[in-house]
Amino acid sequence: MITASNFDNIDLSLMKEQHITETIGVQFRAEFFNAFNIQNYGNPGVTYGGNNFGVITALAPGANPRQIQFSLRGSF
């Protein structure tokens, strides 16, 4: 039986909303996906005698490096 290591991922979102007038506003948002850039490795090779036996060759499925997204939204 093969057990994989834990899958750690921390997302972070920061927002700042500013009202220009009573009815007009602007919102700035910064979103960080995998904010601390934690590497989640995949399972090692399990074919005994193969070249990749016991070697981790890739990241876990769904594991992505840090991604940052900025947005600016106006409301009226």
Inside any domain, residue 5: no
What is this structure's pTM?
0.67
> Range of 65's domain?
12-75
Considering only residues 40 and 68, tell me which one the structure prediction assigns the higher pLDDT. Answer: 68
Inside any domain, residue 2: no
Inside any domain, residue 18: yes
CB 12 within 8 A of CB 32: yes
Inside any domain, residue 3: no
Q: How many domains does the chain have?
A: 1
2, pLDDT greater than 70: no
Q: Specify the range with the lowest mean pLDDT, choosing from 1-5, 14-18, 26-30, 35-39.
A: 1-5
Average pLDDT for the chain: 87
Inside any domain, residue 65: yes
Report CA-CA distances (Å) from 27 to 43, 63, 70, 72: 42, 30, 11, 6
**Distance from C-alpha of 33 to C-alpha of 9, rounded to nearest angstrom:** 8
68, pLDDT greater than 70: yes
